[in-house]
Amino acid sequence: MIAQNLAHIQEQITQCECHSETQSAVKLLAVSKTKPIEDILTAYEAGQMAFGENYVQEGVEKIQFCQQQQIELEWHFIGPLQSNKTRLVAEYFDWMQTLERAKIADRLNEQRPPHKAPLNVLIQVNISNEASKSGVQPDDILPLAKHVENLPHLRLRGLMAIPEPTDDVVQQEQTFRQMHTLFEGLQQALPHAQIDTLSMGMTDDMQSAIKCGSTMVRVGTAIFGKRV
């Protein structure tokens, strides 16, 4: 079932790319939080290479298992990160998508093993201005981005957002277009940086996100089924 789900989603992504306003190539991140390692291996056998985890310890255990099996996957941390957990993210993950504070960036930079490639980071933007959501305000993107640029063990790759859920497609697209405008602004402000990733869109709003310029969608439920 997981393999069939992946094939179906990839087909949807391809169709959406054809109608995208930006013609961006879109990467699928399989959100595997709370899912057993068997599900991840099934997805891997079906060709999926990039996985997203929300909880540090759970993610590290899965990464360690795959390393022991000599299975090389790409691991993204996509949850809120507390200061006392930065070392594990710096040591084990390939991407950190939820950066919102310079202090966390500094700790990740200090704790990234020197033999590893720089940790790819995305700045999380609280685009819907929700009190309960993490992320920076749009005006705070550039100061944090410039701070990250000076950290040698981090590589700024772009922006990430989790907009407020809505069934209103017009509202969805308006919010995603705002994010894409911010993304383009960051590219223009930092022309020498590798700003190539706009992570937005999940199972329920993936199509709108791709239409408006997303380059990475984070899909869990449509791949692995609902969390029990």
Structure tokens at 78: 């996509």
Residue 30 CA from chain centroid, whole number: 10
Per-residue pLDDT of the chain (228 residues; tens, 9 = 90+): 999 999 999 999 999 988 888 878 999 999 999 999 999 999 999 999 999 999 999 999 999 999 999 999 999 999 999 999 999 999 999 999 999 999 999 999 999 999 999 999 999 999 988 777 789 999 999 999 999 999 999 999 999 999 988 999 999 999 999 999 999 999 999 999 999 999 999 999 999 999 999 999 999 999 998 865
CATH number of 1-219: 3.20.20.10
Closest of 69, 37, 74, 83 to residue 52, by C-alpha:
74
Contact 86, 107 (CB under 8 A): yes
Structure tokens at 66: 């795959």
Domain ranges (residues) in the chain: 1-219
| Residues constituting the chain | 228
- What pLDDT is recorded for position 132? 76
> In angstroms, rounded to a whole number, what is the distance separating the alpha carbons of residues 51 and 57?
15
Say how many Å lie between the first and final Cα of the chain, rounded. 17
Q: Report CA dihedral (165, 166, 167, 173) to the nearest 10 degrees.
A: -100
Contact 208, 172 (CB under 8 A): yes
SS3 call for 105? helix
Closest of 77, 103, 72 to residue 91, by C-alpha:
77
CA-based angle 125:63:40, to the nearest 5? 85
Structure tokens at 45: 């056998």
Closest of 63, 55, 50, 51 to residue 34, by C-alpha:
55
> In angstroms, rounded to a whole number, what is the distance separating the alpha carbons of residues 24 and 16?
10
- What pLDDT is recorded for position 20? 86
